[in-house]
Structure 1
Amino acid sequence: MKKVGVIPNINKDKDLEVTKSVVNWLLDHGSEPYLNEIVAARIGYEKHGKKANEIYSKSDFLIALGGDGTILNVARLCAPFGTPILAVNLGHLGFLTEIDASELFPSLEKIYKGEYAIEKRMMLEANVVKNDMEVINFRALNDIVITRGAFSRMARIKAYVNDNYVDTYLADGVIVATPTGSTAYSLSAGGPIVYPTVEVIIITPICPHTLYSRSIVVSPDDVMRLEIAEENQDLMITTDGQQGYKIDYRDVIYIKKSNEYTNLIKVKNSNFFDLLRDKLTER
């Protein structure tokens, strides 16, 4: 019996009708659906309600119903367990969602027949060190960003790669992105587009106050060190635009490739360049 986690975005599946239809399909095919306890109660399947950790660690695969934001959140939570994700789009076309709702059940049929592949996506890990003590650890599928608040002055951030000094950025912040994240915030800040299964790390200053600051691409074996080099009352480190932590003068952030990957289920022979054209030429 397959154990399948169903993770809906309740803002996109407001009446949970898609979620309920997925649960019924799984039950009809001899599988055991795993649901958040609140969602399970709302659709009348209380006995399938599970704690979050159990959903992510014990499911054979996950069905994430939402958009790219939903996938990013699910990816961080299930990465320690390597649980594959079927990403289902319930909103606008995204870079991470594999299928839309109309393709969901034929895609599940393919998965149950073994007609699918797993695409591994590199992730990043960040450690924030304050007064020589690690205070918090993050992982990200898209990017880790240091950014200033709306009313604070420009940040001054010293950047090192493997203890080699790179530059001191006087800028609105710095983006450290994966290839998956190269089409997100990094792209709008002038960073390069990188094929999503290539393993590199992209460092891009945000609105740098110089004529020469450009993106730098380094290997997945390199370790970034970012030092907050000047007092600033309003700096944050954020991961995938969803988690945040306030950072201060003299804090040090270490960023490297994570040992964990996001495993995306692929049921279509989709072309990244077709998706790129569709997304970046939208009107």
Structure 2
Amino acid sequence: MKRVGIIPNFTKDKNLDLTKKIIQWIEQHDGEVLLQKIDAEKIHRKDLAYKADEIYAYADFIIVLGGDGTLLGVSRRVGKNETPILGVNLGHLGFLTEVEIGDIYQALENIMADHYALEKRMMLEVAVFNNNKLVKTFFALNDVVITKGAFARIINLKTFIDNNYLDTYPADGLIISSPTGSTAYSLSAGGPIVDPKNSLLIITPICPHRLNARSVIISDREKIRVEIEDRKNDILLTIDGQEGYKLQDEDDIVVKKAEFSANFIRVNHRTFYDVLRNKLAERTVLHKDNV
């Protein structure tokens, strides 16, 4: 018997009708469903209620209903459990979700029969230090972004690779991205596209006030330390575009490869380059429509 966690999406599955159909299918195929308490109560199935950390620890795999944003959040919360995740797309085609609504039951049949592959994605560990003391730790799948506030001036970001000084970027901010995040904010800021099967870190300045400031790619064995020279500025640390943390005076940020990975279930033969080609074509059409 497989234990299946389900993370619904109240916005895209408003009455949780799809969620209820998936639960029925799993139970009819001798599976056990795990839901967060609030989700179980909404469909009157308190017998399926678990704490969130119990779902991530006990489930054999987790179905995430929604889009790339929902999947990003779940990837961070799964964390060290490394529980496999199946992303089901309820919106526009994304880079992370694996199957469309119409293909969900065929995908589940394959998974229940152990006919699937796991794709490991590098995670980032982000530590905030104040006067050399650790004050906060985050994990990210896509990226870590240091940005100035809405009314702040340009900030100067003194950047080191291990103990080696790299550069000081006068910019609106700095993106430190994983390969998975290379097609997100980093790409919009002029960063390179990287196959997510690789393991490396990408440093991309945001609107740098210097013509020779470019993206830098480094090994996953190295760590990045950023010192903010403009201590009195309003500066924000953002994790995957979903979590925010206001940086204090004397804070330094250290980013490195996390000790664990995100595991995505793959049942299709679609490659990263297939998705990339389709997404780039989609963006081209949108651009033409707006011209």
| TM-score where L is the length of structure 1 | 0.98
* Counterpart Cα distance in 2 of 1:135 and 1:249: 13
Provide the secondary structure at the position in 1 that maps to 2:176.
Answer: strand
> Is residue 2:111 matched to residue 1:118?
no
Q: Structure 2 matches for 1:3-152, cutoff 5 A?
A: 3-152=3-152
Residue by residue, what CA displacement relative to the aligned partner does 1:99-118 show, whole Å, maximum 9, x if unpaired? 11111000000111121000
* Counterpart Cα distance in 2 of 1:27 and 1:113: 15
Provide the secondary structure at the position in 2 that maps to 1:281.
Answer: helix
Equivalent in the alignment of 1:159? 159
Q: Structure 2 matches for 1:201-280, cutoff 5 A?
A: 201-280=201-280
* Counterpart Cα distance in 1 of 2:31 and 2:229: 54
Residue by residue, what CA displacement relative to the aligned partner does 1:205-226 show, whole Å, maximum 9, x if unpaired? 0000001000000000001000
- How far 1:140 moved relative to its partner? 0.4
Over the matched positions of the two proteins, sequence identity in percent amounts to 51
* Counterpart Cα distance in 2 of 1:152 and 1:281: 36
Residue by residue, what CA displacement relative to the aligned partner does 1:160-182 show, whole Å, maximum 9, x if unpaired? 00110011111011000000000
Give the 4+ runs in structure 1 shifted more than 3 A. Answer: none
| TM-score where L is the length of structure 2 | 0.95
* Counterpart Cα distance in 2 of 1:197 and 1:76: 18
Provide the secondary structure at the position in 2 that maps to 1:237.
Answer: strand
Provide the secondary structure at the position in 1 that maps to 2:192.
Answer: coil
- How far 1:272 moved relative to its partner? 1.4
Provide the secondary structure at the position in 2 that maps to 1:114.
Answer: coil
* Counterpart Cα distance in 2 of 1:247 and 1:41: 38
- Structure 2 counterpart of 1:103, one-letter code: D
- How far 1:234 moved relative to its partner? 1.3
Is the contact between residue 230 and residue 250 of structure 1 (CA under 8 Å) also seen in structure 2?
A: no
* Counterpart Cα distance in 1 of 2:43 and 2:251: 46
- How far 1:250 moved relative to its partner? 2.8
- Structure 1 counterpart of 2:118, one-letter code: I
- How far 1:80 moved relative to its partner? 1.1
- How far 1:77 moved relative to its partner? 0.6
Provide the secondary structure at the position in 2 that maps to 1:121.
Answer: strand
Is the contact between residue 5 and residue 63 of structure 1 (CA under 8 Å) also seen in structure 2?
A: yes
- Structure 2 counterpart of 1:32, one-letter code: E
Question: What stretches of structure 2 of length at least 5 have no aligned partner?
Answer: 287-291
Greater Cα offset, 56-65 or 39-48: 39-48
* Counterpart Cα distance in 1 of 2:136 and 2:250: 15
- How far 1:134 moved relative to its partner? 0.8
Provide the secondary structure at the position in 1 that maps to 2:217.
Answer: strand
* Counterpart Cα distance in 2 of 1:149 and 1:230: 12
Q: Structure 2 matches for 1:170-185, cutoff 5 A?
A: 170-185=170-185
* Counterpart Cα distance in 1 of 2:9 and 2:71: 10
Provide the secondary structure at the position in 2 that maps to 1:26.
Answer: helix
* Counterpart Cα distance in 1 of 2:45 and 2:197: 38
Is the contact between residue 71 and residue 97 of structure 2 (CA under 8 Å) also seen in structure 1?
A: yes
- Structure 1 counterpart of 2:45, one-letter code: Y
Residue by residue, what CA displacement relative to the aligned partner does 1:236-276 show, whole Å, maximum 9, x if unpaired? 11110011111134311110000010000000011211211
- Structure 2 counterpart of 1:190, one-letter code: G
Equivalent in the alignment of 2:198? 198
Q: How many residues align?
A: 283
Question: What stretches of structure 1 of length at least 5 have no aligned partner?
Answer: none
Residue by residue, what CA displacement relative to the aligned partner does 1:95-139 show, whole Å, maximum 9, x if unpaired? 000011111000000111121000000010010001221110010
**Alignment RMSD:** 0.9
Is the contact between residue 118 and residue 263 of structure 1 (CA under 8 Å) also seen in structure 2?
A: yes
Provide the secondary structure at the position in 1 that maps to 2:193.
Answer: coil
* Counterpart Cα distance in 2 of 1:184 and 1:266: 21
